[in-house]
Amino acid sequence: MQSNRVKALLKKGQPTFGVWIWIDSPDAVEMLAHLGFDWLVFDMEHAPVDIGAVQSLMQASNGTEITPFVRVAWNDIVMIKRALDIGAQGLVIPWVNSKDDAVKAVQAARYPPRGLRGVSPRRAALYGLDRNYLAEADNNIAVIVQIETPEAVENAKDILSVDGVDAYFIGPMDLSTSMGIQGQFDHPEFRKAITRVADAGKALGIPGGIMCRSVADIKRAVEDGFKFIALGTDFDYLRWGAQIALAAVGRAERAGT
């Protein structure tokens, strides 16, 4: 089994950078995988892709140093199992609001006796050619829980204390919306929530991640000490590139810039 480079970097406290994949395009994935990012997250929560499409997208990053993560649609044992069986080396689990939710996520990602994952790894074990997969998977797979509600912020210390949680991830839009202050990322209450989660992570030695949608977001994420930093999405890059081109020919207003 290929060692999980990103998990190792996070354990050392090193920052890692990646992209969220929303577009069903192997060409786009292949290009991004060769640009120097550390990881890609193939999003099954919001993107219109099924498990077969994600496998094909993941295969497009073969031969690079990319660590493939999948954000499953829900904290569900079957969804988690299928994502791992197609070769995900890491998981992003949405809507983890309590310690019990975190335990459920970790157990779904681990084989018995440590967890509940069914045994049939398919592509993850190179279709039976990797005889070490079953012995190495539990320690190699990274589990990242999403903190996206006031309840999760309140329970952050308990969530991050669960053995097997490797990192947490904050979606600023989800969290701010659930707090009733949608998009107000400088709001004192939002900043207080971020600090509370970050302090819990630092106390327990659990690194954090966050979604960035601008250069200013990226600078703040680095300053705040986040280690699993999303530098936008493939969707963002397509829009930003088009807006720059349109602005150059005097169509900035029509391009929404």
Query: How far does CA 159 lie from the centroid of its chain?
Result: 17
Residues 6+ apart with CB under 8 A from 85: 120, 121, 122, 123, 124
Residue of 13, 34, 46, 219 with catalytic role: 46
208-212 and 90-93 beta bridge pairing: unpaired
Decide: 40 and 62 in contact? Cβ < 8 Å: no
- Confirm whether 46 is a catalytic residue: yes
182-190 — which CB contacts under 8 Å span 24+ positions? 185/217
CA-based nearest residue to 32, from 66, 70, 71, 4: 66
Task: Measure the CA–CA gap between 236 and 214, rounded to whole angstroms.
Answer: 10
CA-based nearest residue to 71, from 230, 240, 222: 230
228-233 and 67-71 beta bridge pairing: unpaired
- For the chain, give the longest Cα–Cα distance: 63
Task: Measure the CA–CA gap between 87 and 63, rounded to whole angstroms.
Answer: 14
| Burial (0-12, 13-18, 19+ Cβ within 10 Å), 26 | middle
Instruction: State the catalytic residues.
Output: 46
